Amino acid sequence: MLRPIQAVFNSGDYPDLLVGLGSPDDAAVYRLDDSRVLIMTTDFFTPIVDDPYQYGAIAAANALSDVYAMGGKPLVALNIVALPSNLPPDMISQIMLGMAEKVRESGAVIAGGHTIKDDEPKVGLAVVGLAHPDQVLTKGGAHPGDILFLSKPLGTGCITTAAKNDKAGPTHVADAVRWMMRLNHHAAEAAAAAGATAATDITGFGFLGHATEMALSSNVTLHVEYSRFPLLPGAEDYAKEWLFPGGSVANAETYGKAIRFEDTITQEARMLLFDAQTSGGLLIAVPADRQDIFVSEMDSRGASCWQVGVAGEREDCNIIVTP
């Protein structure tokens, strides 16, 4: 969709645009001076939960995550809101409050925004963050030997789909909501402290889709072990019932041909790695001799992380998945 724009803007004419249309990444990066860059992103989506406050908070956490994935700290945000004209005022207030309190938790501030009428609710944020140029993370910095860490469990796509079909247990939904509302700031801080080489956040393209972008941008092949992946409670049960959103199926069709699975990995397990996530965790590549620093930094913040694999020399596929 952005290809026509690339023909208009020649990257050579904008030397301070360090990350933009030239390569796919989580946010744009613009250099202000030798010690500061702006990180800019926008994201919004339709409701995935019934509770309006949770919807707003998840939408905000999801949008803020792109700044964290690039190694930045959120600075200011603008609301993006499209709501039906007949939506009850108290429901609107709860959506806005959920977004506002999550932005405040990040240390940023909402400075305004734009609202339109639409038949289907859509909310999110445009976010600007700040970072030092040397601390910017992209998808393209991973090296062979780097250890791959994930900061949140997988499974939000199939669990929210099960909920929409009235097949999800309340505790499973509550766990998924809790993780979707969680900011990725601890993982970003730990990545900076450990000298991480690359990062991306796991959202709509699923783990394997976003990991594919890291593999291609870094010119490596990622080796991951399915048994190492954290899965939300209930995710495997709903996967066996094939309760996946359409986006997960599209991810498998788009990225599956360049992924090598060992034969013993079941179809539902494969789909969990393709499962379209909302406000997922960060996938972070850390040099092997600094992995203990990353784990220690996460532990000191009371945050979880899971080692899921390693980056290897480039082979004839993007990702190799073993049991």
> What does the pLDDT look like over 88-107, one tens digit per residue?
999 999 999 999 999 999 99
Question: Which among 105, 284, 122, 288 has a CA at the least distance from the CA of 190?
Answer: 284
- Are residues 109 and 180 located together in one domain of the fold? no
- Are residues 84 and 178 located together in one domain of the fold? no
User: What is the CATH classification number for the domain harbouring 82?
Assistant: 3.30.1330.10
Residue with the two structure tokens 């908070």: 57
The residue range of the domain holding 309 is 138-322
Last residue of a domain, which of 134, 168, 191?
134
- Are residues 76 and 57 located together in one domain of the fold? yes
In angstroms, what CA-CA distances link 174 with 68, 126, 156? 24, 27, 11
- Are residues 98 and 144 located together in one domain of the fold? no
Rounded to the nearest 10°, the torsion over CA 262, 147, 212, 232 is: 70
Least confident of 22-26, 131-135, 204-208, 295-299: 22-26
pTM: predicted TM-score of the whole model, two decimal places: 0.95
- Are residues 124 and 197 located together in one domain of the fold? no
Per-residue confidence (pLDDT) for residue 14, from 0 to 100: 87
State the Cα–Cα distance between residues 25 and 267, nearest whole angstrom: 29
Please write the tens of the pLDDT for every residue from 137-153.
999 999 999 999 999 99
- Are residues 32 and 167 located together in one domain of the fold? no
Q: Name the phi and psi angles at 318, rounded to 5.
A: -85, -40
State the Cα–Cα distance between residues 23 and 7, nearest whole angstrom: 14
- Are residues 68 and 128 located together in one domain of the fold? yes
Do the Cβ atoms of 320 and 221 come closer than 8 Å? yes
Q: What is the band of 10 on the pLDDT scale with cuts at 50, 70, 90?
A: confident
Question: Is 121 in a helix, a strand, or coil?
Answer: coil
- Are residues 63 and 158 located together in one domain of the fold? no
- Are residues 98 and 149 located together in one domain of the fold? no
State how many domains the chain has.
Answer: 2
Tell whether the torsion through CA atoms of 93, 99, 100 and 105 is positive or negative: positive
